[in-house]
Structure 1
Amino acid sequence: MSDKETPEQQRERIRQQELKNNPTGNLNDSFNRANNGSLVDLIGSLGWKGTGILILVIVVGVIIYYFFFR
């Protein structure tokens, strides 16, 4: 049985390797991520269905905005 990584595990492993190789280059990113959050973390935690729903909600919101406020 082969032990294959999921895409989320692979992204996290690559991110951890990058942090080990360049810890000071990512210092500013880590400070900003603590305040603002990261889009990559949001999309990674939602999965493809959650991302699709999020995009659909945004599109419907824009359509409603243009319909009522224009």
Structure 2
Amino acid sequence: MSKEKETAELRRERLRQEEIKRNTTGNVSDAFNRSDNGNLVDLVGGLSWKVTGGILLVLIGVITAFIFLR
């Protein structure tokens, strides 16, 4: 889709994604602050895929340890 024909919603999302790529450290703080009055999608959207994957691995490890070391 060309930039002239994109909807306002798609344009806002594209601009938000560009800002995330430019300012990664500020976005981590924004993501955690957004969790107070936002939802999980906004929280994960503010984090990079590496951070999200790390959180998931830690959660899986804790659950696995809890099950097997009980």
Q: What TM-score do the two structures reach when normalised by structure 1? A: 0.46
Q: What TM-score do the two structures reach when normalised by structure 2? A: 0.46
